[in-house]
Structure 1
Amino acid sequence: MRIGAHVDPAEPLAEAAARGADLIQFFLTDPQGWIDPVDRDDAEALRSAETDVYIHAPYRINVASSNNRIRIPSRKLLFSHAAGAAKVGAKGIIVHGGHVEKADGLAAGFDNWRKTFAYAADQGGFATPVLIENTAGGDNACARRFDNLARLWDAIGDYEVGFCLDTCHAFAGGENLLDIVDRVKAITGRIDLIHANNSRDGFDSGRDRHDNMTAGEIDPELIVAVIRAAGAPALVETPGGAEGQTADINYLRERLA
């Protein structure tokens, strides 16, 4: 079972070594910006490393939006970051499921996702596999509640699209972790990556605040059980820098051994 962490992008392989991580995730640019990635000096080292690489897309991306000033730049930014992820040999690019402005706009939001993948297919596909991640908050979110996730997959499931399951987001979003792997796979048919995070806030709080394995509101053994049931690589996006994340990685490894 491969376990890793989200790390600072400056020297990701050094960060991986500091944590003993099998895989790493990082941003190619400011996650809050509308910035296209530039070529990295360490691209060849990342491509040839034994450490698996995943890229997280900027938080700004929301291809579900009905606002053209958000949706169209979001689609372009997702394309450019998928291309940048390919240059560093990433196994996937993780993007949040997004949201719509009004509850009655969800159908259009799902269709906007479909149009994004249809456009990509016409262009030969995304340069890196896209993994949609469930989110913690928002009443009009496309991938918080799993009934909406099912509607999203009805729209895009015929395309090559993967899924990233975040345990904090699921718990804070109001989805029980006990049988979550079976419920997700019944919808998506797959789980490609686990974001193994505890939650600072309670069940169905709608708040996206990660915590370390043994410090949050989720029984950490539930997180272990999710990883084991999914059989997917997992990474922590938890606080405490190298020290805190190393402790979390070791906790998971010991219990998954």
Structure 2
Amino acid sequence: MRIGAHVDSTDPLAEAAARSADTVQFFLSDPQGWKAPKLREDAERLRAAEVDLYVHAPYVINVATLNNRIRIPSRKLLLGHATAAAAIGARGLIVHGGHVNAGDDLAVGFDNWRKTFAYAADSGGFGVPVLIENTAGGDNACARRLDALARLWDAIGDHEVGFCLDTCHAYAGGEELLGLVDRVKAITGRIDLVHANNSKGAFNSGQDRHDNLDGGTIDPELVVAVIRAAGAPVVVETPGGVAGQAADIDFLRQQLGTERSAA
């Protein structure tokens, strides 16, 4: 099982080595900004690395919204990040499910996701798997509750789309972790990546506040059970820098009975 962490983007491979990580996730630009990613000078080195790479899209992206001033730039930025992720050999581009504003029809948000994939297809496709991530908060979110996720997949499931399951987001979003993998796979048919995070917030709090695996409000054994059931690569997005994340990675390897992958 490939286990790693979300790291600083300056030198992801060095960050991976510091954590003994099999995989790393990082941003290609400011996660709170709208600037398109630039071509990385270390692209060839990243493509040749034995470490698996994942890119997280900026948080500002929201292709579901009915607000044209956000939705249209979001589509463009998502495609730009997919192109940049493909250029470094990333195995996936993670993007939050997004939301509509209060009073707006959530069904339009799901259709806006469908139009996003159609927009990308008209431009030659994303070029890298797009993994939609469940989110923790919002009553108008496209991927917080499983009933909404089912409606989203009805709209986009025929496209080349994957799913990233975040344990903190699910728990804080009000979804029980016990049996969650089966319930998700009944909708999506797949889980491509697990974000293994404990939660500072309580169950159904709607708070997106990650904690280390041995802290927070989630029984760590439940996080391990989700990972074991999902059978997918794992990324911890936990605090504490190198030491904190390395400890979380070691904890997971011990609990899962795995060693660091050779490649």
TM-score by structure 1 length?
Answer: 0.99
Residues of 2 paired with 1:218 and 1:164: CA distance?
Answer: 19
Note if contact 2:196-2:235 (Cα within 8 Å) is conserved in structure 1. Answer: yes
1:202 equivalent to 2:187? Answer no
Equivalence map 1:134-173=2 (5 Å): 134-173=134-173
Equivalence map 1:56-135=2 (5 Å): 56-135=56-135
Note if contact 1:5-1:24 (Cα within 8 Å) is conserved in structure 2. Answer: yes
How many residue pairs align between the two structures? 257
Note if contact 2:44-2:88 (Cα within 8 Å) is conserved in structure 1. Answer: yes
Unpaired segments of 5 or more residues in structure 2?
258-263
Note if contact 1:181-1:229 (Cα within 8 Å) is conserved in structure 2. Answer: yes
Cα offset, 1:20, TM superposition? 0.2
Cα offset, 1:213, TM superposition? 0.5
Match of 1:181 in 2: 181
Residues of 1 paired with 2:207 and 2:47: CA distance?
Answer: 35
Residues of 1 paired with 2:224 and 2:44: CA distance?
Answer: 33
Cα offset, 1:179, TM superposition? 0.5
Q: Secondary structure at the match of 1:248?
A: helix
Q: Secondary structure at the match of 1:55?
A: strand
Q: Secondary structure at the match of 2:110?
A: helix
Cα offset, 1:127, TM superposition? 1.7
Percent of paired sites with the same residue: 75
Q: Secondary structure at the match of 2:105?
A: helix
Cα offset, 1:204, TM superposition? 0.2
Note if contact 2:66-2:104 (Cα within 8 Å) is conserved in structure 1. Answer: no
Residues of 1 paired with 2:179 and 2:69: CA distance?
Answer: 39
Match of 2:261 in 1: none
Unpaired segments of 5 or more residues in structure 1?
none
Residues of 1 paired with 2:144 and 2:255: CA distance?
Answer: 28
Residues of 2 paired with 1:2 and 1:199: CA distance?
Answer: 22
Residues of 2 paired with 1:201 and 1:71: CA distance?
Answer: 29
Note if contact 1:103-1:139 (Cα within 8 Å) is conserved in structure 2. Answer: no
Residues of 1 paired with 2:197 and 2:205: CA distance?
Answer: 15
Q: Secondary structure at the match of 1:91?
A: coil
Residues of 1 paired with 2:30 and 2:118: CA distance?
Answer: 27
Match of 2:241 in 1: 241
Two-structure CA RMSD over aligned residues (Å): 0.7
